[in-house]
Amino acid sequence: MGSALAYLGAAAQIGVIGAPLGLVIWMSLQDPRGQADWSLASWRTILVSQEAGFALAYSAVLGALIAALSTLLAIPFAYLIAVRRGRAGRFALAFLLMSWFLDPGLRILGWMQVIKTTTLFRLMPDALQGSLAAELVAGIHAWLPAAAILLAIGFARVPAEFVAAARECGASSISLMRRILWPQSQPWSSLVLAIVFCGATGNFLEPRLLGSGMFEQATEWLQRAMESEVGWPYASTMLILLLLAATFPLLLLVLSARRRS
Amino acid sequence: MVGSDARPALGGYSATVAQGKLLALVAPDGNACRSIADAMSGFERPRHGRILIDGKDVALRRPGERGVMSVRTELALFPHFSAFANIAFPLEQRRLDVNEIGRRVEQVAADVGIPHEALAKLPAALSPEIRLRVALARALVAEPEVLILERPLNALPLPLRRSLLPELRRLQRRFAITTLLVSDDLGEAMTLSDSMSVVIDGSEVQSGSADQIYARPVSVAIARLAGPCNLIPVDVDTRDGKTVLIGTALRGGTAALPRERTPIGIESGPALMLVRPLAVRLFLGIRRFDILVDGTIADVMPEANGARIRVTPESFPQDLLADIPLPAPTPLEPGRAVTLGWNRGDIFLLPVTG
């Protein structure tokens, strides 16, 4: 019974993840006229394209920055939820859960409307609009709730007696975090970083809403290719490359875990 | 008061521990032990009352600001730190000089009996005994005013617990640190403490020295907590200023008891005669005993310093335990008829209730 369920699960995984991925790979092997093109023309074009390379690199850098800053900013919230608890912790948990489940695109659109219709818009430096900083803020805003809640789960898994012992030894909150909670919640905390990186690298809506203009991100490149009637093999290729780039840290984590074990 | 109104861990309790002494607070309920230790360490706020250390009320101070360190059952050694780093942790939080930290850690580790080579190892690579010593060293290196020991040996195997009890006592005396032992094991507390309180359902039921509690418990519950015991039903009467025991358990039917072996309140009526297995001997017709009971050996259990026998008496249905030093004067085997004897000085009377 158990093995039958496992096979069923594996089949479902193939259906949900494998089939669309296979379709995208198949589409990347088509030429723009719909004929099978086994010369991998779109792959060669993109791999040698400086523009596509920059777009991918820019997405990865932005993803890494968003992951690092979101996780860093999420630490106090996670600490409040998992360690301090109490009324403030419960409130933070409720607020972050609500924010997480409310679509980040809707939140960003809402904030844009608020900023545009208030004096905030006039106070904001012109250089901030449509800049890297704007995308960074939007990315952090989008990923902070998820990062905080996932980190809190990791911190809550640290045995309470370690926290109590550290506090009894006179550890401050920062020391407790740096010396006990963060190391003890590994590799969970690294997994949170990787998850945020994966998501942030593949951000689709934010670049469209706040695109920097100076640097095109991989998702913008993808969008542009898809909008062109003949560009979808290139879009599929870029999608696969983006997927590989985004999940690269997860691959590293798995490899390092295997090496440790 | 500590704990909830519905189930207080400690209520209406007051005790003073003299500088450098060890007070044992024994609560059979493990949760109550944890609550009391948490309240002392600052992880649980007492609902009423004060906690005074050196005359200052610390009940509202945070953990780490009270001068209290504890060693709990779990030991809570940080698994990613070496033994050295674990011991050094409290000193690092005080931002002491690195050389000073090294010197103090080496010193306390030597005092506590941690081998030098163990200092570089992670806790998982240490034996349970050394782990306990590291936890003690981490608590002691901070030079706290009060050390809390909350069931510190409970996670250890029984033989190790027995062998470490004198060592814990030695260390407590060596460091002359004021210590509160919170335990659910009265026997352990009796070995370690200068004085003790027994707390049941949040209230103190008896306090005094270990000897007093062992020999003169106020209730059956405490008598049992203090160790194996024989509780024999008797009737009590007072004649000519003496307490007289009347019971089928007694050869001849009666026995007079010194007044000091009878707690106040037991003048007449049913009572329980407490006699510890250690005081019960085999009667071979040579030594004189005040009380004799005939019976048959039901079980023989080897012990560290002898054998514990369970004897089914002829005159009443309750089995008796006796600790017999080896070599025994007569072969100890199930089914053998024996006569057990003990003296009036070894008896203590208990009320039937409680």
List pLDDT tens digits, range B274-298: 899 988 988 877 778 888 888 999 9
Task: Please check whether residue A166 touches B, CB under 8 A.
Answer: yes
Kindly state whether A184 is in contact with chain B, defined as any CB-CB distance less than 8 angstroms. Answer: yes
List chain B residues with CB under 8 Å of A167: 43, 62-64
Interface test with B, best of A85, A169, A175, A177 (most B CBs within 10 A): A169
The percent of chain A in helix, strand and coil, each rounded to the nearest 5, is 80, 0, 20
- DSSP lists the bridge partners of residue A229 as none
Give the pLDDT band (50/70/90) at residue B71: very high
Q: How many of the other CB atoms lie within 10 Å of CB of B169? A: 15
Residues of chain A positioned with their CB less than 8 A from the CB of B42: 168
Helix (H, G, I), strand (E, B) or coil at A99: helix
Q: Which residues of B touch A171 (CB under 8 A)?
A: 64, 89, 93
Mean pLDDT in chain B? 84
Q: Is B78's CB within 8 Å of A165's CB?
A: yes
Chain segment A24-35, per-residue pLDDT in tens: 888 888 876 667
CA-based nearest distance B188→chain A, Å: 23
Nearest to B76 among A165, A170, A175 (CB): A165
Q: Kindly tell me if the per-residue pLDDT of A102 is higher than 90.
A: no
Cα–Cα distance between B201 and B126 in angstroms, integer? 38
Residue scoring higher pLDDT (A241 or B32): A241
Distance from CA of B350 to the nearest CA of A (A): 41
pLDDT value of residue B259:
64
- Do β-strands B178-183 and B146-150 pair in parallel, antiparallel, or remain unpaired? parallel
pLDDT value at residue A104: 74
Placement of tokens 């670049």 in the chain: A207
Residue A74 has pLDDT above 90, yes or no: yes
Rounded to 10°, the helix B98-112/B158-175 angle is: 120
Chain B residues whose CB is inside 8 A of the A183 CB are 80
Cα gap B280→B273, rounded to integer Å: 13
Asked if residue A221 lies in contact with residue A57, where contact means CB atoms within 8 angstroms, the answer is no
The mean per-residue pLDDT over the stretch B316-320 comes to 85
The larger pLDDT score, comparing residue A162 to residue B352, is at A162
Confidence bin at A130 (pLDDT 50/70/90): low
**Is B293 within 8 Å of B339 (Cβ atoms)?**
yes
Average pLDDT over residues B152-167: 84
Angle at B72 between CA B66 and CA B73, to 5 degrees: 170
Q: What is the ipTM of this complex?
A: 0.77
Q: Which of A12-16, A17-21, B117-121, B171-175 has the highest mean pLDDT?
A: B117-121
Per-residue pLDDT at A196: 92
**Residue whose pair of structure tokens reads 């990923």 in the numeric block:** A143
Residue type, position B298, single letter: A
Residue B233: per-residue pLDDT: 83
Confidence band (pLDDT; 50, 70, 90) for B234?
Answer: confident
**Whether the predicted pLDDT of B103 surpasses 90:** yes
pLDDT reading at B354 higher than 60: no
Q: What pLDDT is recorded for position B33?
A: 75
Task: Retrieve residue B117's tokens.
Answer: 């080579």
Is A182 in the B-facing interface, judged by CB distances under 8 Å? no
**Of A40, A33, A21, residue with least CA distance to A231:** A33
Of the candidates B283, B296, B291, which has an alpha carbon nearest to the alpha carbon of residue B248?
A: B291
Query: Which residue of A lies nearest to B91 if distances are taken between CA atoms?
Result: A169
pLDDT higher than 90, residue B190: no
- As a whole number of angstroms, the distance between CA B163 and CA B233 comes to 36
In the predicted model, what is the mean pLDDT of residues A202-216? Answer: 71
pTM of the model: 0.77
Is the alpha carbon torsion for B189, B190, B196, B198 positive or negative? positive
Q: Is A260 on the interface with B (CB under 8 A)?
A: no
A230-233 contacts at long range (C-beta below 8 A, 24 or more positions apart): A230/A32, A230/A33, A231/A32, A232/A27, A232/A30, A232/A32, A233/A27, A233/A28, A233/A29, A233/A30, A233/A31, A233/A32, A233/A37, A233/A41, A233/A42
Residue B133 pLDDT grade (very low, low, confident, very high; cuts 50, 70, 90): very high
**Confidence check: pLDDT of B312 > 60:** yes
Paired with B300 in beta bridges are B309
CA A204 – CA A218 distance, rounded (Å)? 9
Count, in order, helices (H) and strands (E) of chain B: 8, 20
What is d(CA A228, CA A91) in angstroms, rounded to the nearest whole number? 47
How far apart are alpha carbons B168 and A78 in whole angstroms?
Answer: 39
Mean pLDDT of A168-196: 91
Q: Give the pLDDT of residue B250.
A: 65
The Cα of A195 is separated from the nearest Cα of chain B by a number of Å equal to: 25
The C-alpha atoms of residue B321 and residue B312 are separated, in whole angstroms, by: 9
